[in-house]
Amino acid sequence: MMSKQLLGALFLSAVSSFTFAEDITGLWQSIDDKTGAPKALVEIRQEANGTYAGKVVKITPRTGYTPKETCVDCPAPYTNKPIVGLDVVTGLKHSEGLNYTNGRILDPNSGKVYSMKAKLSANGKRLHLRGYLGVSALGRNQIWIRAE
């Protein structure tokens, strides 16, 4: 009886850690791809339609950087909205394994909206994002780190 309970607990533990590794929901520290400095905390959530969205919950203070408070150069419906609370990731869909595709990502500093895809690291602690216009080969990479 005891060995069945132990086996069951081990199975549940393995399944839950595997599920965690594929789950992108939660808090992520975005990192500036040019400077390597932390930019903002983004909370990714799963929407009712199964897609993922991410909103800025905090802008990370850094020396020598004064962040914009509102999305001045952004297209509608983001124009002049506060950056904190703004959905910067929308429509991201889980495709297979650790991969996510068909999303959009907004750069609040430039006001540009890019197509995006993402891949979660095997340990679930890093999210590799690719933002691009048109084809994926013409874009930028960012790595976000799971906030603990």
Find the mean pLDDT for residues 75-99: 96
Give me the pLDDT at residue 34, please.
83
Give me the pLDDT at residue 137, please.
84
**76-115 burial string, b = 16+ CB within 10 Å, else e?**
eebeebebeebbbbbbbebeeebebbebbbbebeeeebbb
Give me the DSSP letters along 65-134.
B---SB-TTPPTTSTT-BSTT-EEEEEEEEEETTEEEEEEEEETTTTEEEEEEEEE-TTSSEEEEEEESS
pTM metric for this prediction: 0.82
Domains, in order of start, for the chain = 24-146 (2.40.128.520)
Q: pLDDT-based confidence at 129, cuts 50/70/90?
A: very high
Q: Which residues contact 115 (CB under 8 A, 6 or more apart)?
A: 102, 103, 104, 131, 132, 133, 134, 136
Give me the pLDDT at residue 19, please.
42
13 vs 144 pLDDT, higher one: 144
Q: Give the pLDDT confidence of 19-72 residue by residue, as tens digits.
A: 445 699 999 999 988 888 899 999 999 999 999 999 999 998 888 778 889 999
19 vs 106 pLDDT, higher one: 106
* Averaged pLDDT of the chain: 86
Find the mean pLDDT for residues 140-144: 93
Q: Which residues contact 15 (CB under 8 A, 6 or more apart)?
A: none
User: Taking Cα atoms as reference points, which of 33, 29, 15 lies closest to residue 132?
Assistant: 33
Cis peptide before 77 (omega within 30 of 0): yes
User: Among residues of the chain, what percentage have pLDDT more than 70?
Assistant: 85
